[in-house]
Amino acid sequence: MTQTQVISAPEELRDLLRNMTRMQLLRTLAAWRPDLNGYRDVTMAYRIALKSLARRYLALHDEIADLDIIIKAIVDELAPELVARTAVGYESASQLLITAGDNPDRLGSEASFATLCGVSPIPASSGKTQRHRLNRGGDRAANSALHIIAIGRLRLDAGTQAYIARRVAQGHSKLEAIRCLKRYIARELYYVLRNRHRKINQAQNHRLTLEGRPGKSVQQHRLAELSESQSTGGQYESSW
């Protein structure tokens, strides 16, 4: 958006800003002090608009940087094994944790998790032709995270490159080969998520036992708390 505005700005502004890098451009625009009463002048109106866009961009850039730090800390605490896998970044890992946390009942099997993420194959055979098509359902954010991981592995991992080449040689299109790769990645990461989920539940159950409340799972304990809060008219906030 900022670049578009610069391109269409008067020539004197284009000449001033033409050779700057992106961040130099944004910081320069944000530091401008245009006369807000001069909006009837075309050049001054562009200065006002460009300053507004640059300040908004930099504010969002700083907010994203702060949130990335928080996300990294949370992922390192909850599932360090996840980001240790090839091409799994913190954003992709955090999305998979959110998807798994919102759907704990879908962690019963790796096939169920693959369906949740929209990477399970859908039969599309016709006559003697046996094939599967892409799954357009499921959690699209989780599917996007798996796709990013797949593309990262395709660029960085020699084994993945050989796998895709073998699939294409077998007659699959590249999209079908990537679908198969995403299904494999979902299977691999499912066991990491499941094992971590079990460890967290065991730790929470152990804590409840130490507090003198044995024999209840975490879910049962939270249901009991919910029932107590409703009976007393209190408010209950759940967290995963």
| Burial (CB count within 10 angstroms: exposed 0-12, middle 13-18, buried 19+), residue 207 | exposed
The parent domain of residue 88 ranges over 79-192
Question: Any idea which residue has 């995403």 for tokens?
Answer: 182
Looking at the fold, whether 12 and 38 belong to one and the same domain comes out as yes
Is residue 229 situated within a structural domain?
Answer: no
Is residue 49 situated within a structural domain?
Answer: yes
Residue 17: how many CB atoms within 10 A of its CB?
18
Looking at the fold, whether 85 and 178 belong to one and the same domain comes out as yes
Of residues 95 and 232, more confidently modeled = 95
For the stretch 132-148, pLDDT in tens is 667 777 899 999 999 99
Is residue 28 situated within a structural domain?
Answer: yes
Contact 115, 138 (CB under 8 A): yes
For the stretch 187-198, what's the b/e string if a residue is b when 16 or more beta carbons lie within 10 angstroms of its beta carbon?
eebbebbbebbe
> Could you tell me the pLDDT band of residue 188, with boundaries at 50, 70 and 90?
very high
Rounded CA separation 188/194 (Å)? 10
Looking at the fold, whether 152 and 58 belong to one and the same domain comes out as no
Looking at the fold, whether 148 and 172 belong to one and the same domain comes out as yes
N residues, the chain: 240
Is residue 205 situated within a structural domain?
Answer: no
Looking at the fold, whether 125 and 171 belong to one and the same domain comes out as yes
**What mean pLDDT value characterizes the chain?**
84
Looking at the fold, whether 153 and 91 belong to one and the same domain comes out as yes
Looking at the fold, whether 121 and 86 belong to one and the same domain comes out as yes
Looking at the fold, whether 59 and 139 belong to one and the same domain comes out as no
Q: Strand, coil or helix: what is 189?
A: helix
Looking at the fold, whether 100 and 165 belong to one and the same domain comes out as yes
Average pLDDT over residues 226-238: 47
Sequence-distant (6+) residues with CB within 8 A of 56 are none
Rounded CA separation 237/233 (Å)? 13
Rounded CA separation 240/4 (Å)? 43
Looking at the fold, whether 6 and 37 belong to one and the same domain comes out as yes
What percentage of the chain has pLDDT greater than the value 70?
83
Looking at the fold, whether 111 and 165 belong to one and the same domain comes out as yes
> Which tokens go with 118?
């929209």
Instruction: Note the pTM of the prediction, 2 decimals.
Output: 0.74
Average pLDDT over residues 186-207: 86
Residue 72: its pLDDT value, please? 95
Q: Per DSSP, what are the bridge partners of residue 132?
A: 123
Rounded CA separation 34/78 (Å)? 48
Looking at the fold, whether 143 and 46 belong to one and the same domain comes out as no
Last residue of a domain, one of 27, 53, 70: 70
Q: How many domains does the chain have?
A: 2
230 has a pLDDT exceeding 60? no
Last residue of a domain, one of 49, 70, 91: 70
Contact 142, 117 (CB under 8 A): yes
Is residue 214 situated within a structural domain?
Answer: no
Q: Strand, coil or helix: what is 123?
A: strand
Rounded CA separation 106/110 (Å)? 9
Residue 236: its pLDDT value, please? 38
> Could you tell me the pLDDT band of residue 202, with boundaries at 50, 70 and 90?
confident
Is residue 161 situated within a structural domain?
Answer: yes
Is residue 187 situated within a structural domain?
Answer: yes
